[in-house]
Structure 1
Amino acid sequence: MYTAIMVVIVMTIIGCVFGLVLAYVNKRFAMEVNPLVELVEDILPKGQCGGCGFAGCKAYAEAVVLDESVPPNLCVPGKAAVAEQVAKLTGKSAPAIEPRVAHVRCGGDCTKSVRKYDYKGIKDCTAANLLQGGPKACQYGCLGFGTCVKSCPFGAMAMGSKGLPIIDMEKCTGCGTCASACPKQVIGFRPVGSKVMVNCNSKDKGGAVRKACSVGCLGCGLCVKNCPHGALKVENNLAVVIDHHICTEKCSEATCLAKCPTGAIKAVVSGIDLQEQSKKEAAANV
């Protein structure tokens, strides 16, 4: 009994000594926090997406306040409104940021794409990609397991009824988290208000594309030849919109849509991706 009491007393004394030492060290080496950092952090959307290039909102707040070289407009989700507030607090200038939204560069849903095997593993795109590049015959196509959807910090994505992600253009901030999560690099970006989009990511030649997907880009160049404003080009066997502003400002009739033999080029209606139709189908199936 006496031994147990002594053990308790000794442990209590040791605990008190260590507590006093830690309290002294904490006070002696405490770093003053710039109150401006907290003010800037409160303005940020707290998505922790990393779109600014820093490890979360707090890290960016510290950098933009303490480092003169860090601009106030790096918060992509916050857009111009947040950039202006951060600039005002830090006394820096905030160049205009063009709003952007994510774009799934694949139209090969489960009814239009060919599969090379039946995948039975973990429902995750990264995991599936480790097994011969995934079950899709097109090595560049969306695998459809929703890894991008799970990664979106703003709830702007959902899986459609036909196995392709759907992007809610009203919620999408263009932060880039979904693009980073995609092992196939299927997700790209386009400016808000753009008129056309290429729903394909394949770099294969036309013959291989036809075998893998009925709506893939063949790289035939018909869209380029029929665009009177030079807004398109074929790069690595894939049609690419060079400048969306050309389409927005100069084009009144998108002839590229009519000339595309597979329908790989789609129109954007009122700034909303036409894949929104899949969302309606999914809701109808519930």
Structure 2
Amino acid sequence: MNLILVAVISLGAIGLIAAVILFVASKKFAVYEDPRIAQVAEVLPQANCGGCGYPGCSGFAAACVKAGSLEGKLCPVGGQPTMEKVAGILGLEATASEPKVAVVRCNGTCANRPKLTQYDGVRSCVVANSTYGGETGCTFGCLGCGDCVSACQFDAIHMNPETGLPEVDESKCTACGACSKACPRNIIEIRPKGKNNRRVYVQCVNKDKGAVARKACTAACIGCGKCVKVCPFEAITLENNLAYIDPAKCKSCRKCETECPQNAIIAVNFPPRKAKPADAAPAAQAASAAPKAAQPVAEPKKETVEVKAAEAPKEAPKTEA
């Protein structure tokens, strides 16, 4: 009985000493956390998508509290309303940020980029990109396995079975960048939506020389540089046989779009162009050259012509010899 009592007392003493040590250690090595971090984290959507540039919503909340300014910070999922709530908690001003959207910079549809081989393996763009060049002659374009679709948490991107390319639903896209990170060929770019949701960009990432790129895809950028020369705002640069439009400098004049011989420059959400006078003249000529049989023809008026009978020649008067 004494042995049991000694054991119980010994264990109790050890536990008490350990508790005291842990208490002292917790007080001495305690890390202070601003309570506002938890408050900011509560108003965030908790998507943990990483689109803000920080590891999750808690990391973004800590960065907002420690920074002392919300300039350059944006929660892509919550948008401006969420940032206004964050600003209200921290007593700061929520700077307006330009909304962005994911853009697929590849126009290698089944018609523009015919398949040369057939991939029979794991349906993953990462695996396909690391094992071979793809089913087409373009080694830069979309592989079509849908890694971007799987990475999107907001059901904002889907594969089009007719074109074989991903399509972004602008109404659902939060510009979190998950699809861009999932693409091994970097064909998805997060770009500003632009004024009135209009934007111009080069829908190609092929860096091959012109002849090689055109052979692989009929809509590929061939690096001719015509768009660079025609741009009045110096918004287009040409590097590694590929043109790129800087969204910060582009004024959406669309001169580059009409100058591109490959139609590789895309203008989104713009109204249709008005027909030029030079284009209207051939149309008028074509209309005038149409067969006139289709138009009702007025019957010619019948005119009555009176023809007088020719009078017989009068006989000459006879003279007597």
TM-score normalised by length of structure 1: 0.76
Q: What residue is the counterpart of 1:186 in the other structure?
A: 187
Q: How does 1:133-172 map to 2 (within 5 A)?
A: 133-161=133-161, 162-172=163-173
Deviation at 1:67, TM superposition (A): 5.5
Q: Is the 8 A contact 1:114 1:138 kept in 2?
A: no
Q: How does 1:18-33 map to 2 (within 5 A)?
A: 29=26
| CA distance, structure 2, for counterparts of residue 223 and residue 264 of structure 1 | 10
SS at match of 2:175: coil
Deviation at 1:116, TM superposition (A): 4.4
Question: Residues 36-90 of structure 1: CA distance to partner in whole angstroms, max 9, x if unpaired?
Answer: 2232112222221112222211222233235558867242333333223222322
Task: Classify 1:69/1:225 alpha carbon distance in 2 versus 1 (closer, same or farther; 3 Å).
Answer: closer
Q: How does 1:175-254 map to 2 (within 5 A)?
A: 175-192=176-193, 193-243=197-247, 246-248=250-252, 251=253, 254=254
> Which residues of structure 2 form unaligned runs of 5+?
1-10, 272-321
Structure 1 residue 50 corresponds to structure 2 residue 54:
no
> Which residues of structure 1 form unaligned runs of 5+?
1-13, 272-286
Amino acid at match of 2:60: Y
Percent of aligned pairs with the same amino acid: 41
Q: What residue is the counterpart of 1:132 in the other structure?
A: 132
What is the CA RMSD across the aligned residues, in angstroms?
3.2
SS at match of 2:251: helix
Question: Residues 143-176 of structure 1: CA distance to partner in whole angstroms, max 9, x if unpaired?
Answer: 1111011111222111112211110111112121
Q: What residue is the counterpart of 1:3 in the other structure?
A: none
Q: What residue is the counterpart of 2:175 in the other structure?
A: 174
Amino acid at match of 2:132: Q
SS at match of 1:246: coil
Higher relative contact order (CA 8 A, sep 6+): 1
Structure 1 residue 64 corresponds to structure 2 residue 64:
yes
| CA distance, structure 1, for counterparts of residue 69 and residue 22 of structure 2 | 33
Question: Residues 244-263 of structure 1: CA distance to partner in whole angstroms, max 9, x if unpaired?
Answer: 55324xx2xx2322222221
Q: Is the 8 A contact 2:70 2:87 kept in 1?
A: no
Question: Residues 220-269 of structure 1: CA distance to partner in whole angstroms, max 9, x if unpaired?
Answer: 12222333444323222112113455324xx2xx2322222221111101
SS at match of 2:189: strand
Structure 1 residue ranges, 4+ long, deviating more than 6 angstroms after superposition: none
Q: Is the 8 A contact 1:226 1:259 kept in 2?
A: yes
Larger radius of gyration: 2
| CA distance, structure 1, for counterparts of residue 126 and residue 174 of structure 2 | 23
Q: What residue is the counterpart of 1:83 in the other structure?
A: 83
Task: Classify 1:91/1:210 alpha carbon distance in 2 versus 1 (closer, same or farther; 3 Å).
Answer: same
SS at match of 1:129: helix
Amino acid at match of 1:184: R
Amino acid at match of 1:168: D
Q: What residue is the counterpart of 1:280 in the other structure?
A: none
Aligned residue pairs total 255
| CA distance, structure 2, for counterparts of residue 242 and residue 73 of structure 1 | 21
TM-score normalised by length of structure 2: 0.69
SS at match of 1:130: helix
Q: Is the 8 A contact 2:198 2:269 kept in 1?
A: no
SS at match of 2:59: helix
Q: Is the 8 A contact 1:194 1:244 kept in 2?
A: no
Question: Residues 76-127 of structure 1: CA distance to partner in whole angstroms, max 9, x if unpaired?
Answer: 3333332232223223444432211111110002222144431111111101
| CA distance, structure 1, for counterparts of residue 119 and residue 45 of structure 2 | 38
